[in-house]
Amino acid sequence: MRIGSILENQSSEKRVAVTPEIVKKYISLGFEVCLSENYGLHLGINDDQYIQIGAKISKDEAEILNSSDVIIQLGMLSDKKVINIGEHKTLIGVLDPYNNKEKLENLAKKKINLFSLELLPRITRAQSMDILSSQANLAGYKAVIESFANFEKAIPMMMTAAGTVPAAKVLIVGAGVAGLQAIATAKRMGAIVFATDVRMASKEQVESLGGKFLTVEGSENLETEGGYAKETSEDFKIKQEELLSETLKKIDIVICTALIPGKKAPLIIKENMINGMQAGSVIYDLAAIQGGNTAFTELDKVVERNGVKIMGESNILNKLPVSASNLYAKNVFNFVDNLFDKESKKININLEDEIIEKTLIK
């Protein structure tokens, strides 16, 4: 069987789905691996490195998509490219079924098996395949680095003969995987860190990393069975706004990470809250791609309101493409390994397997 992958649209996606290390693993399973020309060149991986470990390189992307039994990508392919996928093939990636419904329905008519990895269940057996966690970890780290680079004061407390420089105060909104990594990174760099989340289970995790958890009085645990945040009640929103408004007046840097799968990001930091913040403060909004957690977030722009910088990028992982590709490629290999029947040497769509059942787009 053949596994194929072609370059993503380089203007929006610099990660790759197959790294040289992972080529060896696919070959050991019995796959032939075929990649498009200059597949990893932008990451410092030339075609010879892939060829030396057994991969085939082709200039013809349409032929790769048509002849590969399993196609592995990051995001959904363009209309121009997706029509080249042959019938009865398997496409694996972050297919975003909420926004690509029509395109995926058309592919399903061609009897193409579609697996969208952001739908993986939050179970122990799926942890090695969990692309959301591995990528969010890097995003949380990088968001802190980017916001600190745009903050025009020192981060740690410094005691000098000329006086003391106070430590920066950082607020993390949303203590999921990205938020927890942001807390750990900010703490390591000497900041005083606060965090808030609607899931009460996050309190212990935040405090274990040295952060102070801000709790809305009388709040209930708003967590789904899958471990994601639920939408909050109006009463909770009012209480949360009051708590945030007062807290933000003393905060230097805010990292927003609050997302609800398949829905617009919740608006958490409103205009009046930003107006109350200190000039020179920085907000980095990791939820920008889904509309943002602030009133003024704009994709791929730094917006300034009353001296507060608000940053939001469509793909922060383009700034860490090598690390992000390495983790993504390992996640996908583990998924394929679970999907592949070693005896028959075929893809086995076992719907009794929760991992396969949840990620298969029917």
Catalytic residue, chosen from 36, 73, 116, 133, is 133
Choosing from 12, 78, 127, 314, which is the catalytic residue?
A: 127
Alpha helix (H) residue ranges in 165-208: 177-188, 202-208
Of residues 2, 122, 188, 305, which has the active-site annotation? 122
Q: Which of 60, 57, 20 is nearest to 35 (CA)?
A: 57
d(CA 313, CA 310): 10
**For residues 211 and 206, what is the distance between their CA atoms, to the nearest angstrom?**
5
From CA 118, how far away is CA 228, in angstroms rounded? 12
285 has catalytic annotation: no
Q: Which of 15, 36, 39, 130 is catalytic?
A: 130
Pairing assessment for the beta strands 163-165 and 212-213 based on DSSP bridges: unpaired
CB 132 within 8 A of CB 214: no
Helix (H) or strand (E) holding 137: helix 131-149
Strands of the sheet containing 2-5, edge to edge, are 56-58, 32-36, 2-5, 70-72, 90-93, 113-116
Whole-number Å distance between alpha carbons of 214 and 81: 47
Question: Is 122 one of the catalytic residues?
Answer: yes
Q: Does the annotation count 48 as an active-site position? A: no
Q: Is 130 a catalytic residue?
A: yes
* Catalytic site includes residue 344: no
Place of tokens 């082709």: 58
| Residue (of 230, 219, 213) closest to 172 by Cα position | 213
Which of the residues 58, 60, 228, 337 is marked catalytic?
228
Point out the residues that are catalytic.
122, 127, 130, 133, 228
